[in-house]
Chains A and B, each alone.
Chain A
Amino acid sequence: RKEVEQDPGPFNVPEGATVAFNCTYSNSASQSFFWYRQDCRKEPKLLMSVYSSGNEDGRFTAQLNRASQYISLLIRDSKLSDSATYLCVVNIPMNTGFQKLVFGTGTRLLVSP
């Protein structure tokens, strides 16, 4: 089983639509969770961290379900500029005591006029 799994999409939605992305992770000891955004041929950038109680940043809402090891990202009122790949990121504890950041393969979103 992959450490972080996402539906690759693409998700094709019209402007103004609401779209949700899901992500599952395999290591129950993971403590930190993030959503990153990556534009075509660019580096990933942090969109938002995901907190246990859920958190919202404008049109974006992130949720964490530890029992199901599941993370979600909801985008409301989609804009053309939201077209990008959204990466689910989880930190995984290692046997060394250190941790590593593991990225999902990403979900591609295309917002059309």
Chain B
Amino acid sequence: NAGVTQTPKFQVLKTGQSMTLQCAQDMNHEYMSWYRQDPGMGLRLIHYSVGAGITDQGEVPNGYNVSRSTTEDFPLRLLSAAPSQTSVYFCASSYSRYANTEAFFGQGTRLTVV
């Protein structure tokens, strides 16, 4: 069972570059979300989606875009990378759109912006 698949696992970007972090789940989950994790800050919600075509902002959305054209995929786009976006990014999905069931996480993407 694949679960939640995130790519790439590691990435180094130059300031100003753009890129897309990919996230796919094969569990037919309604709820998908992106978090970033920084030392001492815990996981902070960037964007989330409760189904295809429905997305909303989380706690730290600036500098990131998302879309949800299918149930399976929820890519995160960095528009113009900044050193402050150096972090570990996790994608998660859960069955219920009300975020009240177990969340399954991808293995994370370690992003460095230089």
- Interfacial residues of chain B within 72-107, with CB under 8 A of chain A in the complex: 90, 92, 94, 97-103, 105-107
Task: State the interface size on chain B (CB cutoff 8 A).
Answer: 26
- CB distance B99 to A101 under 8 Å? yes
Closest to A103 in B: B43
Smallest beta-carbon distance B66→chain A, Å? 14
- Interfacial residues of chain A within 90-111, with CB under 8 A of chain B in the complex: 91, 94, 96, 98-106
| Segment of A10-18, A40-48, A56-64, A75-83 engaged in the interface with chain B | A40-48
- CB distance B100 to A31 under 8 Å? yes
Distance between Cα atoms of A103 and B56 in the complex (Å): 18
Instruction: Please tell me if A73 contacts chain B, counting CB pairs below 8 Å.
Output: no
What residues on A are CB-neighbors of B58 within 8 Å?
A: 100
Distance between Cα atoms of A94 and B48 in the complex (Å): 12
Of B40, B99, B106, the residue contacting A91 (CB under 8 A) is: B99
Chain B contacts to A: CB under 8 angstroms: 33, 35, 40-45, 48, 50, 56, 58, 90, 92, 94, 97-103, 105-108
